[in-house]
Structure 1
Amino acid sequence: MLLSTAIIRQAIEPLTSKARRNVHIIDDSLFSRNRSKKVELLARVYDHVSGTYVRGFRMLALGWSDGNTFLPLGHCLLSSASKQQQLQGASSGIDPRSNGGKQRKLAQSKAPEVVLTLLREAHEAGVPAQHVLFDLWFCSPALLHQIHEIGYDVIARVKKSEKMHFLCQGRMQDVKSIYRAHAKRRGRSAYLLSVQVEAVKDGKRLPVRLVFVRNKAKRGDYLVLVSTDLSLSEEEIIQTYGKRWNIEVFFKMCKSYLKLGKETRAISYDALTAHTPIVFTRYMMLALEQRRNVDERSIGELFLLTIDELEDLRYLDALAMLLKLLMDCARDAEILDKEQLNQLLDLFLARLPHLWQRCLKQCT
């Protein structure tokens, strides 16, 4: 968290407009230890890709993005809140008041509790972000209320479930019922429907906007996005949620190229917790280097000097220099004599627009 915050403050924030919507992104990925038996807090976790249970952890990660650069902020290797799913328990010799003891306790908490803990740490560290993005696995009215109380707005995908209800037109309805009850937009609009509803939890109401978007991967289907920031338009909500893909690229990079979970065979939970930030730090180095190579503003004074040089050299001046170079090369190669070269140049100028002819004659 400290390293990422320093990179954002010193290297990225000066290059980013204040009007840009910076976001926190939350997601989890499988941390597989399928061949292990004695790893501390090892558990049976569900793999959404294969649809089976495997041995390992759920690596819950919090990241920051400005739409261009993604940086990890924090993580937790989740075991399981259920003792029945745990294949190994926590070490009994760890003081619960120590950092290691607190991490083990957090690893056995439910995912929403860990999400709130990571967001509070990022908020206390002063990481500049206005919105929190996550997929449908974490979306619930309770979590929307809790994150909004911390000080962030949420843009998330909503699961089309009969258990997920919002207050619409005076009664609690699921998103499918809301979709059927309203008229859809015609034509090739970016979204099908936009409805302002309320998320209700323990009697508290939070105004939110539901945006129903066409599912490009499946014709006739739709996706549902929810936003607690009512000041954003539907297009801005869709655009902002698109930044969530950065964390998927991050997971792919860490697992396929940075040896996350592969270069250590440790069985201690402390060792695994230390290994993960080492891999994340490698990713930060690559992300910072990529930003410096892509963003021309990071070149500093050299960028300003090149801009000044381009402003001094006009287009017609450059064209005149190229023509002169071409004539010199033809003369040195003895392809044409001087009289023939002048005739060729006059013929070329005669076919140019009159304004260009006058300006080129002035340049030469």
Structure 2
Amino acid sequence: MQKSSDVLIELLRQALDSGIQASYVLFDSWFSFPSTIMKVLEQKIHVICMLKGMPRVYYGYNGQKWNLNALYKAVRKKRGKAKILASVIVTLGCNEQGEEIPAKIVFVRDCNRRRNWLALLTTDVHLPDEEVIRIYGKRWDIEVFFKMTKSYLRLAKEFQGRSYDMMFAHTSIVFARYILLAVESRESQDPRTLGELFSLCCDEMEDIKFASALLLLIELFKSAVRKF
């Protein structure tokens, strides 16, 4: 009954009103329109998303409007085989007060396609390029989660209906199953469930300082000389 972009904002409001705290909203190019990004920003939360080269979606740069492909050609790229090809500050549009909304676009080399690139956008213009990539990479865990719930826990297949409440309940039950299986897997396989023992082992394996390592090497050298 509603546009998917409007539902996105409504669900985001519900999550924030319920007390969930987050620094960023992550989504792929399906929702990455400037108007949608600006609506999310109105909820006092930043966006990190993948961009798609759409010919009629424009970004402000150097006083002109550019679509993503034209913008990539216009910016100066790093030489060599750098993973981060370029980053640039653009504007998405103006808010109700007439203020321009800045954003950063980071162009990344696409390792799966020769001579190709990907573009990530963040409304947090002070975030380093590497951090933008690292945070967006968390989305892959979410994709794996949905793949597992759909393939093995029958998400969206176990029931059929048009009631929002029914779909909401079904989704909650499936996610509860996943949580139970994840807890069981953690307790039976993951050494972190050993609690304090795991922390003590980590403390013992903590990296030693350079000066301490140098002294150890000198002592080993002295011992070897004595034996010789």
| Alignment TM class, shorter chain as reference | 0.7 to 0.9
Q: Are the aligned partners of 1:141 and 1:201 in contact in 2 as well (CA < 8 Å)? A: no
The Cα offsets for residues 153-180 of structure 1, whole Å up to 9 and x where unpaired, read as 1111111011111110012111112111
Distance 1:353 1:192, change over 3 A: closer
1:298-346 CA-to-partner distances (Å, cap 9, x unmatched) read 53344456679x69xxxxxxxxxxxxxxxxxxxxxxxxxxxxxxxxxxx
Which of 1 and 2 has higher RCO (CA within 8 Å, sep 6+)? 1
* Aligned equivalent of 1:321: none
| Contact kept? 1:142, 1:201, Cα under 8 Å | no
Counterpart for residue 355 of structure 1: 223
- Residues 291 and 196 of structure 1: CA distance in aligned 2, closer, same or farther (over 3 Å): farther
Distance 1:120 1:288 in 2: 29
Q: Tell whether the 8 Å contact from 2:191 to 2:198 is kept in structure 1 after alignment.
A: no
Q: Are 2:167 and 1:278 aligned?
A: no
Rounded Cα–Cα distance in structure 1 between residues aligned with 2:200 and 2:87: 48
Query: 1:187 deviation in Å?
Result: 1.5
1:227 pairs with 2:122: yes
- Seen in structure 2, the aligned counterparts of structure 1 residues 159 and 305 have a Cα distance that, compared at 3 Å, is closer
Aligned partner of 1:188 in structure 2 is 81
Identify which of 124, 138, 141 aligns with 1:243: 138
- Specify the alignment match of 2:190 in structure 1: 294
SS class of match (2:120): strand
The corresponding residue for 1:256 is 151
Name the counterpart of 2:25: 132
Unaligned runs of 5+ in 2: 206-219
Could you tell me which residue of structure 2 aligns to residue 15 of structure 1? none
Contact 2:82/2:109 (8 A) holds in 1: no
Counterpart of 1:229, as a letter, is: D
Determine the structure 1 residue equivalent to 2:67. Answer: 174
What is the aligned partner in structure 2 of residue 33 from structure 1? none
CA RMSD across the alignment: 2.7
SS at structure 2 position matched to 1:192 = strand
State the distance in 1 between where 2:10 and 2:55 align: 29
Q: Unaligned 5+ residue runs, structure 1?
A: 1-107, 312-351, 359-364
| 8 Å CA contact retained: 1:190, 1:235 | no
Aligned residues: 208
TM-score (norm 2): 0.80
CA distance in 2, matches of 1:224, 1:272: 34
Alignment check: 8 A CA contact 2:24 2:46 kept: yes
For residue 116 of structure 1, what is the aligned residue in structure 2? 9
Instruction: Report the CA distance between 1:354 and its aligned residue.
Output: 6.6
SS across alignment from 1:213: strand
TM-score by length of 1: 0.52
Judged with a 3 Å threshold, the aligned counterparts in structure 2 of structure 1 residues 170 and 246 are, in CA distance, closer, same or farther, namely same
SS in 1 for 2:174: helix
The 2-side partners of 1:238 and 1:163 are apart by: 25
**How big is the shift at 1:133?**
0.7
Q: Please name the residue that 2:41 is paired with.
A: 148
Separation in 1, partners of 2:84, 2:177 = 39
Distance (whole Å) between structure 1 residues aligned to residue 32 and residue 140 of structure 2: 17
Aligned residue for 2:213?
none
Deviation at 1:273, TM superposition (A): 3.3
Distance 1:205 1:287 in 2: 44
Aligned counterparts of 2:154 and 2:40: Cα–Cα separation in 1: 33
What secondary structure is seen at the aligned counterpart in 2 of 1:109?
coil
1-side partners of 2:35 and 2:170: how far apart? 33
Give the AA of the match of 1:141. P
For 1:23, the equivalent position in structure 2 comes to none
Which of 216, 232, 245 does residue 111 from structure 2 map onto? Answer: 216
What is the letter of the counterpart of residue 136 of structure 2? Y
Compared with structure 1, are the counterparts of its residues 235 and 301 closer, same or farther at alpha carbon in structure 2 (3 Å cutoff)?
closer
